[in-house]
Amino acid sequence: MDEVIERALTSVSESFIAASGPGGQNVNKVATAVQLRLNVFALRLPPDIFARLKLLAGSRMTASGEIILTARRFRTQEANRADARLRLTELLAEAHNLPQKRARSRLNRVGKEKRLQGKKLRGSVKAGRGKVSFD
C-alpha cells in the first residue's frame, strides 16, 4: 500500500486556482487553492481496490479515470497543498482497507419459537381486521 501511495504522490499534477472565502484583498490577487489531478489507471491497482476507490471517490472521479481534489480551506498554497495530499493519501488508504465480513447471526431454539409466536400473534390481529357483518 505504501508504494501505491508513494507512486500516487509522485504522479500527481498540481495546479493553483483562485480561492473564495476569507483573505481580504489577498484572495483576489493570489491563487491559493490547489487542485490535484491523479490518473488512477497509472497506479495499476487490483480490480477490487479500484472498485472501492471509484466508490469512495464518487463525483471526484472523472469518466477518464482521473481523481480531482480541490483544497481551499487555508489561506496559503503550502497549507492547501498539504491538505490536498493528505486527503488523497487517506482516500487511497481507505480504498485499501477490506470491509469486514458480516457475521451471520445464529438464532437458538427459544428465539426461533418466540419469533414464530410473534408472527402468529400479528397474523391473528390482522385476520381480525376483516369486514364486520351484523348478522
In angstroms, rounded to a whole number, what is the distance separating the alpha carbons of residues 45 and 29? 40
Give percent of the chain with pLDDT exceeding 70.
90
CATH number at residue 21: 3.30.160.20
Let me know if residue 135 belongs to a domain: no
Let me know if residue 54 belongs to a domain: yes
Taking 70 as the pLDDT cut, the residues of the chain under it are 1, 7, 9, 21-28
Let me know if residue 123 belongs to a domain: no
Give how many domains the chain has, as a whole number.
Answer: 1
E strand segments, the chain: 13-17, 33-39, 66-71
Q: What is the pLDDT of residue 53?
A: 86
Q: What is the pLDDT of residue 27?
A: 65
Q: What is the pLDDT of residue 119?
A: 97
Domain range enclosing 9: 2-96
Q: What is the pLDDT of residue 17?
A: 80
Let me know if residue 119 belongs to a domain: no
